[in-house]
Amino acid sequence: MRFQIPDMSCGGCARSVTRAIESVDANARIAIDQASREVEVSTDLPSHRIVAALAAAGYPAEPTAV
């Protein structure tokens, strides 16, 4: 699944996004494209769990087409 994260603007933001996702799935595979402000996540969790974790960390996310 892929998410657009408009507020992810720097390396520190990318690390925070990674930590937020890992807080709900420590085994998730995460690929961040900081330039396009997108993150791709491979996980068995439903997307709403990832969106909720990102929102709680201060990074509202919108699912995008893969």
DSSP state of 50: H
DSSP state of 31: E
Domain ranges of the chain: 2-64
Query: Looking at the predicted structure, is the pLDDT value of residue 40 above 90?
Result: yes
At 2, the pLDDT band (50, 70, 90 cuts) reads very high
Query: Quick check: 54 pLDDT over 70?
Result: yes
Average pLDDT, the chain: 95
Of the chain, the percentage scoring pLDDT greater than 70 comes to: 98
66 pLDDT higher than 80: no
The pair of structure tokens assigned to 19 is 């930590």
CATH label, 2-64, candidates 3.20.130.10, 2.60.40.10, 3.30.70.100, 3.30.70.270: 3.30.70.100
Query: In this predicted structure, what is the pLDDT of residue 56?
Result: 97
pLDDT on residue 65: 78
Return the residue matching tokens 């709403």. 48
